[in-house]
Amino acid sequence: MSHPPRKIIHVDCDCFYAAVEVRDDRTLLGRPVAVGGDPHRRGVIATCNYPARQFGVHSAMASSQALRLCPDLVIVPPNFDKYRKVSTQIHDIFKRYTSLIEPLSLDEAYLDVTASEQYDNSATRIADAIRREVRQQIGITVSAGVAPNKFLAKVASDWRKPDGLFVIPPDQVERFVAELPVKKISGVGRVTAERMTSLNLHTCGDLQGLSRLTLAQHFGSFGERLYHLSRGEDNRPVQTGRRRKSVSVERTYDKDQPTLNDWLRELDGLLEKLKARFERLDQNYLISGLTAKVKYQDFVSLSCDKAGTDLDPAHFEALLQQLWERRQGPARLLGIGARLRDLKAPQQPDLFPEEWDKALRQRRGKS
């Protein structure tokens, strides 16, 4: 027996950090505002409002570059304690409509309202009520998307930003995704998008014309996901208890690290922080891979990864060496991390059960 379509809402706050700052300081109303670090100390923009975006300012941009683009930009230092408090208040509103809430960050979440009795089980009216309550009670705006699954709900929430609501009913999914640009698919970054363009693949309808095998040949393991998402298919449930997939640390330097030896000297401090973060996780996580990242003076970023089940410094030295061989030059940021295997999540049978068992014993301090 087939189940009725899910009713999923994706709620996304509009320019969250900046919106909270403007709310709390009305002298900022109508002005270009960003939340970020000191432009004189290699600060980076965390977010900015729409007046700032009109000048080309965007998140992850250097604060100094943002000021060059928009000399009147007001850069406010972040206050994450305040943002967390506001996020909690917004989630209290969500809870009036459903207990199935999956936070993605402080400013966005999925809600499954399939079984909600509010507003005669109309997901559209529930989403509109949430937007109204956030505006009236919190003093900021949110955009919402309503659809039969998480992929389409997230696409929909971005469709009429800011302060918008967009609905994709089940009977319109096929027509909607056929014309959806491939760049709207989660996981399609710049490199993948360029590859798709070279193959004359511009919409999900174009992707639908390719077989599973062809997609796998061009896009590897991502091909299977593309096959389903290009058809508007996404069976992932809303997860009320989110689990981590990775843990990482990074540092942006006031003064560039010019040589490989300088990079390696930074490794001890980074590794100490990474180990501390990993130890704070519960005992159901194992390390399944290692990564390293560098950002250069021109803001180009490179990363690489390798297999590994422990935080051995030699592994990260090898990764930094590999990055140096790919591109030599001063680094303004260095980072390291680990991919995680969650023992609480459904797992495929292990190909190397003995290695995982050994890693688990080491994590739990057993011989």
**Domain match, 165 and 190 both:** no
Report the run of H or E that residue 76 belongs to, with start and end: strand 74-76
Residue 238 belongs to a domain: no
**Domain match, 262 and 351 both:** yes
The whole-number pLDDT of residue 363 equals: 55
The whole-number pLDDT of residue 252 equals: 87
**Domain match, 152 and 190 both:** no
**Domain match, 104 and 47 both:** no
| Token pair belonging to 75 | 């850069």
**Domain match, 90 and 159 both:** yes
End-of-domain residue from the set 123, 148, 169: 169
Residue 113 belongs to a domain: yes
| CA separation for the pair 328, 340 (Å, rounded) | 29
The whole-number pLDDT of residue 12 equals: 96
Residue 117 belongs to a domain: yes
**Domain match, 75 and 90 both:** no
CATH at 49? 3.40.1170.60
| CA separation for the pair 87, 89 (Å, rounded) | 5
Average pLDDT for consecutive 10-residue bins of the chain (367 residues)? 82 96 95 92 89 93 93 94 94 95 92 93 96 97 97 96 96 96 89 92 95 92 92 91 82 90 94 89 85 90 90 94 94 94 58 50 53
**Domain match, 112 and 179 both:** no
Task: Identify whether the C-beta of residue 228 lies closer than 8 Å to the C-beta of residue 234.
Answer: yes
CATH at 320? 3.30.1490.100
Q: Catalytic site residue 108?
A: yes
The whole-number pLDDT of residue 364 equals: 54
**Domain match, 260 and 359 both:** yes
- pLDDT tens-digit readout, 238-267: 988 766 788 999 998 888 999 999 999 999
CATH at 209? 1.10.150.20
289 backbone dihedrals φ, ψ, rounded to 5°: 180, 165
For the chain, how long is the longest CA-to-CA vector? Answer: 65
The domain tally of the chain equals 4
The whole-number pLDDT of residue 341 equals: 85
Residue 240 belongs to a domain: no
The whole-number pLDDT of residue 1 equals: 45
Structural domain including 56 reads: 17-80
**Domain match, 159 and 197 both:** no
End-of-domain residue from the set 80, 105, 129: 80
Beta strands 45-48; 33-36: pairing state: antiparallel
107 is in an annotated binding site: yes
Could you say which of 108, 117, 174, 233 is catalytic?
A: 108
